[in-house]
Structure 1
Amino acid sequence: MDLKLKLRPNFFFSFLIFIFLFQKPDLGSASGPKCISTERQALLTFKQSLTDPSGRLSSWSGLDCCKWRGVGCDRRTSHVIKIDLRNPNQTLRPYDHWEVYDMGGLGGKINPSLTRLKFLSYLDLSSNDFNFTAIPDFIGQMVSLRYLNLSSSTFLGEVPGSLGNLSKLEILDLYAQTFSSDGPNSYTLYTLEATNLGWLSGLSSSLTYLNMGYVSMRRVGETWLEEFSKLTKLKELHLFNCELNKLPLSLPSSANLKHLEVLDLSRNPLSSPIPNWLYDLTNLRKLYLQEDNLEGLSPSGFKKLKLLNTLDLSNNGFSGELPVVFGDLSQLKYLDLSFNSFQGQVHKFLDALSNNKGNSLVSLHLYSNNLNGTLPESLGALRNLQILDLSENSFTGSIPSLVGNMASLKELYLSRNSMKGKIPQSVGKLQRLETLHLSFNMFSGAIPQSLGAISTLETLALSYNNLEGRIPTNLKFKDPYIYFGNELLCGKPLPKKCPRKQETVIVN
């Protein structure tokens, strides 16, 4: 069959235009570079001002900067919107892995070429080493920033007030604890200082997260809280170890912290009772007030904090009986009251925790108080508890047999009390137990052979008791420390010839 296709002239014209557009290389085709040339040059200038001992900026070459390590671009416009150059080794502890941590850090200076990235909304330079230079004032010109992280990067001097120009900023992390290259045990405190917090008002309508830990504010005076309370959208405020010297007992009428969910004022010489305004922060999930030289606790105030998940009041001067009101906080998972002067028995306190059916407590620390008496059987009702530390008190009596019902328990510390009696066989029911510390008591009798059934046990401390017998033959340690008497019979790692089957425990 002979088919003849008759096409109109305008069809051929449209077809030619289509071919032309398809072949033209610089109209956004998939094969062409996505990076904008002026922004690529700004990044290369920024790179030239940096030192890079690990070579992690080696990918910063070629035309497409959107493919460079740590650079992110908008898929639609190709503008650079993200720079993430955090130290990739920042999760390592510098004390233990100094060389690796240090090698991952960038150094040198931050070049003002970054201000040419007009659409940059995310900048993370955390855990690098800028060798005690000042935070550049020009960062305040990067007005598109929503996320800025300069934490632990050895900056020095005054926090620039120009940061107040970043009116879109939602997250600001200036945590200033830094580690010196002099060695793994060297670190510098208070390299950053804030003497005037007036710039915070420029962030009042946007900032939701602020971390200024280790930034010295000793010269700010008593107005510090008033300045922070201007951040009306703030959800997290971290002022750990900032040399704040007073905790105001009242808030100004203009203060607005109703959205605050996390408040950390730890390690500041606040020297006051807990003020009533703090109990009005009813959205609080986490409250950290450890080591603040606080005294004077109003237990009834905590009833308002119904959403509280974490409460740390350790290392203060609180006294009296343990507040039973904490048993009413059904969301509470982590409670630390260590290193205070709480006294008396714990029956009412533990009963209140165990009687709350909604209680989800995971961690309870009462270490180093003046608590006494025996431990109640109601302890066994805390089935969600993973860590229990009652060390260094004056508890007497034996371990409750119902402790075996604490099915989630991973760590149990009862050392340095005056407890006695036999260690109950029910301890062997704790199938998740990793650490058991019973040293410096008056426990007697044989070591329970049921301990051998706990396959997760890593640390067993029984020194300075009146125990006798043999080490359970079926103990299977992952990373063992076994303390009997005042000797370490099995070390770390476990020696091949560690005596297990016939070794008699030293009786003190």
Structure 2
Amino acid sequence: MDLMLKLRPSFFFSFLIFIFLLQKPNLGSASSPKCISTERQALLTFKQSLTDPSGRLSSWSRPDCCKWRGVCCDRRTSYVIKIDLRNPNQTLRRNGEFRNGSLGGKIHPSLTRLKFLSYLDLSSNDFNFTEIPEFVGHIVSLRYLNLSFSSFSGEVPASFGNLSKLESLDLYAQTFSDDLFTMNLRASKLGWLSGLSSSLTYLNMGFASLSGAGENWLQDFSRLSKLKELHLFNCELRSLPLSLPSSANLKLLEVLDLSRNYFYSPTPNWLFDLTSLRKLFLQLVRLQGSISPGFKKLKLLETLDLSKNELSGEIPAVLGDLPRLKYLDLSENSFQGQIHRFLDALSKNKGNSSLLSLSLMFDRLDGTLPESLGALRNLHILDLSENKLSGSVPKCMGNLTAIVQGKSVDEYYEYQEIRDSINLSGNNINGEMPVEILDLTYLRILNLSRNSVAGSIPGNISKLGHLETLDLSRNRFSGAIPQSLAAISSLHTLNVSYNKLEGSIPKQLKFKDPSIYAGNELLCGKPLSKKCARKQQDVVVN
């Protein structure tokens, strides 16, 4: 019988696969892709145009570019699909150490040879105020582009309108140079946004000047029908339209940040049509008038920041009706009257409220603190400082069970970590410190300064075992400073100045930094002197 007839069909199938693989020499296995030579050369050319003082790209010399730091290849085709060169020291921006890991130089057009590149992150580097190259807008395969915190300048390229697949664009332009207030990046024309209308879901242009975009800037952004997050923090905007054209489509918007633009405007009604909003930041935009009842339509709202504006009137109960509200900041406005209606609404409608942070500092609120405050059982931050509140600290504050039980909060609000704190300073509060406050086991900051609280500091104050800052200054406390304070190992700032306390500071109190403020009549056996302060080295005279 002919030999070919004896061969099984499986042999021919295997033989065909073998021939196919021979014709695709650049493909690696699914578990270990091996880079394509032309793309390796494109990456090497890109590297040569960069400066790398810390040697972050030292691995960019090995044969397989798919194993280079910051490079990711498709497991099936081996094409480069991702370049992530964000600065690993980006959390150290404030003290300048981020510069140690910064890349610099220029972006080379060889990146356009990476035909399947979908992810490019060059954030938190230092490109020394060079312009964003126009050719970046020709990497049409991009779905994610992050150039934030990297010291670019000039006009945002209109070629970005070619990136029709782009889903996320981050151009946040704040820098950490000596001049923090110069707007280096600008977008005078926004017509390119229309090219992203069917794909873009996230856009951050904070600190990029939009002053040249004219009064129709919002209409340009409203064409982004898929947009879920829009961040325009400090963009030199000067006009806030009170209405939108019927063609505008921002129905999917979940996060809107227009903070630190100067609108001098009432709250526009079109905001209340954005019923998908979860977070709304309107800090320092010079909003005027009262809080609109239209906020009741934003049933999904979790974060509302209206701080540092010119809002007035009473805080309406309508804000207490928002069922998912977690973070509310109305501080530094001109609100007046009592807060009973608002706090009672929170208590009545939600019982165990979802509210985690409430800040009403530097307003003009008066009246006493209501018992309904104790119903905010999930509250971690309460700041009612610098108002005209009176009466005593309510015992119901011991019911803030989130602080009692130490429930962790992994969320961030306005770039600040949630830390359990109560600040009632700068009011007209009197009476004694209720012992129920000592039940707030995980409290980290307690500030009752500049009130008229009297009586003694509770001897068992050590129950606040996680306390870091205790400020009871400028009150009417009397008696001795409790020795039990020394048992709070986490305490690093203590201010009991300008009271009627007697005795001395517990010798067992030890701080990493000199952070005890005394200034009482009898410390070290006599009025505290500079000599005594130098001797103890942990006492500062006010």
Same fold? TM cut 0.5: yes
Q: Find out whether 1:451 has 2:461 as its counterpart.
A: yes
Change (3 A) 1:477 1:189: farther
Question: Is the CA contact 2:432–2:453 (under 8 Å) kept in the aligned structure 1?
Answer: yes
Q: Does 1:493 align with 2:512?
A: yes
List per-residue Cα deviations over 1:72-131 (Å, max 9, x = no partner).
111000000000000011122x223x1x21111100000000000000000000010001
Secondary structure of 1:216's counterpart equals coil
Q: Which moved more, 1:344-353 or 1:197-206?
A: 344-353
Q: CA shift at 1:18, angstroms?
A: 9.9
SS in 1 for 2:195: helix
Secondary structure at the aligned position of 2:454 is classed as strand
1:250 is aligned to: 243
Q: Which runs of 5+ in 1 are unaligned?
A: 1-5
Equivalent residues in 2 for 1:80-159, closer than 5 Å: 80-92=80-92, 94-96=93-95, 98=96, 100-159=97-156
The answer on 1:58 being equivalent to 2:52 is no
Pairwise CA distance, 1:161 = 0.5
2:359 to 338, 341, 365: 365
Identity, in percent, stands at 62
Task: Compute the displacement of 1:233 (Å).
Answer: 0.5
- 2:531 is matched with none
| 2:58 matches 1:44 | no
Partner of 1:346: 339
Q: Secondary structure at the match of 1:469?
A: strand
Q: Which residue of 2 is the match for residue 427 of structure 1?
A: 437
Query: Within 1, Cα distance between the matches of 2:287 and 2:379?
Result: 27
Given that residues 471 and 505 in structure 1 are in contact (C-alpha distance below 8 angstroms), is that contact kept between their aligned partners in structure 2?
A: no
Counterpart secondary structure, 2:276: coil
8 Å Cα contact 2:125/2:149 also seen in 1: yes
Cα 1:224–1:279 shift into 2, 3 Å:
same
Q: CA deviation at 1:33?
A: 6.7
Q: Does 1:168 align with 2:161?
A: no
395, 398, 418: which is aligned to 2:428?
418
Residues in 1 aligned to 2:359 and 2:335: alpha-carbon distance in whole angstroms: 12
Deviation, structure 1 residue 221: 1.1
1:17 CA drift (Å): 5.8
Q: Pick from 328, 331, 335 the counterpart of residue 324 of structure 2.
A: 331
2:496 match: 484
Residues of 1 paired with 2:495 and 2:170: CA distance? 43
Work out the CA distance in 2 between the residues paired with 1:430 and 1:176. 41
Match of 2:417 in 1: none
1:465 matched to 2:504: no
Instruction: Indicate yes or no: 2:370 matched with 1:376.
Output: yes
Pairs aligned (count): 494
What is the CA distance between 1:59 and its match in structure 2? 0.8
Relative distance call for 1:486 and 1:74 in structure 2 (3 A) is farther
Report the 3-state secondary structure (helix = DSSP H, G, I; strand = E; otherwise coil) of the residue aligned with 2:366.
strand
Segment drifting more, 278-287 vs 186-195: 186-195
Q: Given the superposition, is the C-alpha separation of residues 22 and 310 from structure 1 closer, same or farther in structure 2, using an over 3 Å criterion?
A: closer
Q: Distance in 1 between matches of 2:281 and 2:17?
A: 66
**Is the CA contact 1:470–1:504 (under 8 Å) kept in the aligned structure 2?**
no
Alpha-carbon offset, residue 346 of structure 1 = 1.3
Q: Separation in 2 of the partners of 1:467 and 1:217?
A: 53
Letter in 1 for 2:311: F
Could you tell me how far apart the structure 2 residues matched to 1:249 and 1:496 are?
A: 50
Structure 2: state its 5+ residue gaps.
404-419, 529-541
Q: Deviations over 1:320-377 (max 9, x none)?
A: 1111111110100000000000001111111111112263000000000001111111
Matches of 1:327 and 1:479 in 2, distance apart?
35
In the other structure, the counterpart of 1:233 is 226
3-state secondary structure, aligned to 1:408: helix
Aligned mates of 2:63, 2:82 — CA distance in 1? 17
Q: Match for 1:302 among 281, 286, 295? A: 295
Structure 2 Cα separation of the partners of residues 307 and 497 of structure 1: 44
RMSD: 3.0
The reply on whether 1:401 has 2:411 as its aligned counterpart is no
